[in-house]
Structures are given as C-alpha cells and as structure tokens.
Structure 1
C-alpha cells in the first residue's frame, strides 16, 4: 500500500522542488489525494524555497574573502536538487540540519 502511494506521488513530489510555481502546482494537485509522500516533500521544498527567498534580502558581504550570500544560496539550491532526486528515487530524506524543523513548522500542509 505504502509503495503505491509513493509511486503515484513521486512526480508531484519532484515537481515541488522546481521553482515556487512547481511547488504551488504540486500542492494543488495533492490537495485532494492527500498523499503522505508528496506532503513530506512539499514541506521540505517549501522550507528551502523560503530560505532562498530570505537570502535574497541579505546584502552581499564577505567573511574571510567568501561571499556568504552566494554560499548560502548555493547550499539551498544543492539541497533543492538533492530533494528532487530523492523524490524521483522514492526516498523520504530530511534536508540536513533543518529538515526536521520544516516537517514541524509546515505540518498543517
């Protein structure tokens, strides 16, 4: 049963990582089916999209010669790509360090 739920929702789960528009589409498509696998990935991707949005407001500043805005953005984008790959391979893996928080903060989704 769980395996069918995952297979049915993996495209929607992966779609949620591809831009905020993809997240909205995945959310709306999953609203009626209430697929737990898709919900997991919707929560993870929403957190990453919000982090990227917040990073856009940070001014460019360097510490020890490194641009922190660029590094933070790169990590968020890498985590989006990893999340999309995990969805396509039917895995529920939390985003390192903050994934558990995303599941708690967005549990109403």
Structure 2
C-alpha cells in the first residue's frame, strides 16, 4: 500500500471509530473510491461498535461495578488502539477480535471488479 493511499484514507479511518455512526458515515463516503486503508479501519470500527452494543446488553444484566468497569476499560483500550493505528497510518488489527472482524466484514470496501 502506498503512502498516498494511506494519507487519502486516514480521515475516514479515524471517523470509523468515532460513535456508532462513524463506521456508517465512513462506509458511504468511502463507497466511491474504495480506499483499502479506510476499508480496513471501517471493518475494525464497525466490528468494535457492534460487539460493544451486543456485549453491553449482556453486561447490563449484571449489577456489579467491577464487571461494568472492566467492560468499559476493555473497550476503551480497543478503541484507543484502533484509532491510534489509524492516526499513525498503520493497518494493525485490534487485539483478540480484529482478525475475526476482517473476515466477518470482508465484503466491506471491496471493489465490484474483484
């Protein structure tokens, strides 16, 4: 991947981690150019947000502050890791679940000619 591709996709890659709407906005803005760097981070951000929402429903059923605090810290670390790799221009998968997200959302960002 060229440095120009990374620089062109960096803004959308960062947006993909900001709020639940970030990956959706980045997906539609990236739909025309299909930048590989942006697509990678859109898949990571979308996976993190979906997992956050689904696990949040389960964690919500526990009435324990240590469990809830651990949940928030775990996701804060994953989001910080993802956004820092986007800012630095690297395509690093988030720990533990990044490879799964890349496989699960593999059709996001693929060009029609592939």
The CA RMSD over aligned residues, in Å, is: 1.5
- Give, in angstroms, the shift of residue 61 of structure 1: 4.9
Q: Is the Cα contact below 8 Å between 1:60 and 1:67 reproduced in 2?
A: no
Equivalent position of 1:4 in the other structure: 4
Counterpart for residue 62 of structure 2: 60
- 1:25 maps to 25
Structure 2 residues without counterparts, runs of 5 or longer: 109-114
1:51–1:76 CA contact under 8 A, matched in 2:
no
How many Å separate the matches in 1 of 2:74 and 2:99?
17
Count of aligned pairs: 106
Matches of 1:5 and 1:101, distance apart in 2 = 24
TM-score normalised per structure 1:
0.88
How far does residue 84 in structure 1 lie from its aligned partner after superposition? 0.9
CA–CA separation in structure 2 for the residues paired with 1:82 and 1:40? 14
Range moving further from structure 2, 74-83 or 5-14 = 74-83
Contact 1:16 1:41 in 2 (8 A): yes
Runs of 4+ with >2 A deviation:
66-70
TM-score, reference length from structure 2: 0.85
Return 5+ residue gaps in structure 1 as ranges.
none
